[in-house]
Amino acid sequence: MYRTVDLQPWIWDLIGERFDPLPPCSFAPSLATWWSHPFWAGPVSLNYRLFQTPGSLPPHRYPHKLIKAFWTAPMLPNGRTTWYKVLSNTIPLQHILAKMHPQAPTCIHCHQHEDLAHFVSQCPLKLPIWEAVLAMYVPLHFLTPTCHLDFLLYLRHPPPRLPLKRALTIFSITLHTIWSHHWQYKIHGVPFQGHRIVRAIVNQVRSFPLD
């Protein structure tokens, strides 16, 4: 399985320039341009960590079987990373971002209050996506939003008759695809369209062994 890394355009200036370890550094102008970007004005990473709340259920409290299944189930690396952010409660919610940069603290899609549950699935634009995907792949399981949210946020109550790795794979694909389209809309203004997202999820699921 091949893995690729997408680099931001500014990094190529650093890669392409000859490195001189002695002052004046050969890539100092590129670094100066990078650090002058508004995003880096002030201790952004420190502020972000201060605004974060502790994880609601630390990994060591998960049942061993579930944790082992989570780390071994077929998932894309970025899908597993996104879900781990959810499990460790380190998702950049709007009310946290609003404390660092001027912007509305509410959901960017429906303008309701945004907590973790709302961000990952309960937003009126995201919930139908989950319902459509679960109806296709696990139609007799996760029949209520509470059931699938409990599994998504805390890995709780996996259906006893559903292969655990199948559930983990489907949830990781769905979560990460919604996550990707969420940020495409927020950063680039790409329309957040449920039918397109469901189609992208279906195409992704086809590349994984679910049985």
pLDDT on residue 33: 60
Residues 6+ apart with CB under 8 A from 10: 30, 33, 34
pLDDT on residue 145: 81
Report DSSP state, residue 42.
S
Instruction: Report the alpha-carbon angle 79-81-82, nearest 5.
Output: 65
Report DSSP state, residue 7.
P
pLDDT along the chain (211 residues), means of 10: 56 52 51 54 49 46 78 90 86 72 81 92 96 92 86 88 91 96 90 96 89 63
Give 85-120 pLDDT, tens digit per residue. 888 888 878 776 766 666 778 899 999 999 999 999
CA atoms within 13 A on the CB side of 89: 12
pLDDT on residue 121: 95
Contact 202, 163 (CB under 8 A): no
pLDDT on residue 53: 47
pLDDT on residue 19: 45
Give 142-153 pLDDT, tens digit per residue. 888 888 899 999
Contact 197, 175 (CB under 8 A): no
Residues 6+ apart with CB under 8 A from 114: 93, 94, 95, 105, 106, 107, 123
pLDDT on residue 63: 73
Instruction: Report the alpha-carbon angle 170-172-177, nearest 5.
Output: 100
CB atoms within 10 A of CB 43: 11
- Per domain, the residue ranges of the chain are 9-41, 56-205
Helix (H) or strand (E) holding 160: none
| Cα–Cα distance, 158 to 152 (Å, whole number) | 10
